[in-house]
Amino acid sequence: MKILILNGPNLNLLGVREKSVYGNRSFEDYFEELKEAFPALELSYFQSNTEGTLIDKLHEVGFSYKGIVFNAGAYTHTSVALSDAIRAIDTPVVEVHISNVYAREAWRQKSMIAPYCKGSISGFGLESYRLALQYFERLKPKQIGFNV
């Protein structure tokens, strides 16, 4: 079961950037742990700081992969184009955030993508990604049809 973890802008700096908010671990390091924890999932990871590249990736995998775990970073709060891309594809997307966006600035409390995602997970640190993967792992094969 192919699952993509997709990270948006500035998330390449995890472990370096604002450690009090985002922790001191790189995503590459955490990704190794996720691969061990979910041997039944074929996990891949992609990060870009560029909106168009994220859209291209959603289009590339969004008609064949079984799931996408997406942290759109700041584009979450601004991007009509990313929300349209999520609407356009068949693969279910779970929105994740490391920080609790609802406990932060008012402008972070609006997600342009949430209405088109299967669900949203926010505030559990890097464990937000693990929780999203548990959703896909526990789905029975027949439940993971597109547009569920």
Determine which residue in the list 2, 25, 35, 108 makes contact with ligand DQA, applying CB under 6 A: 108
137 in Cβ contact with 40 (< 8 Å)? yes
State yes or no: 71 annotated in a binding site: yes
C-beta of 47 vs 91, nearer to ligand DQA: 47
Query: How far apart (Å, rounded) are the C-alpha atoms in residues 110 and 34?
Result: 28
**Contact call for residue 16 and ligand DQA (CB under 6 A):** no
Binding residue for ligand DQA (CB under 6 A) from 4, 97, 120, 121? 97
Region 65-84 residues binding ligand DQA, contact defined as CB under 6 A: 71, 73-74, 76
Q: Which helix (H) or strand (E) holds 21?
A: helix 19-22
Start-to-end C-alpha separation, the chain: 16
Q: Least separation, in Å, of the C-beta of 98 and ligand DQA? A: 4
Within its chain, how far is the Cα of 46 from the centroid? 10
Looking at the Cβ atoms of 25 and 108, the one nearer to ligand DQA is 108
**Residue 143 Cβ, how far from ligand DQA at the closest point, in Å?**
27
Contact 86, 93 (CB under 8 A): yes
Q: Rounded CA gap, 132 and 41, in Å? A: 12
Q: Which residues are annotated as a binding site?
A: 71, 77, 84, 98-99, 108
Q: Which residues are annotated as a binding site for substrate?
A: 71, 77, 84, 98-99, 108
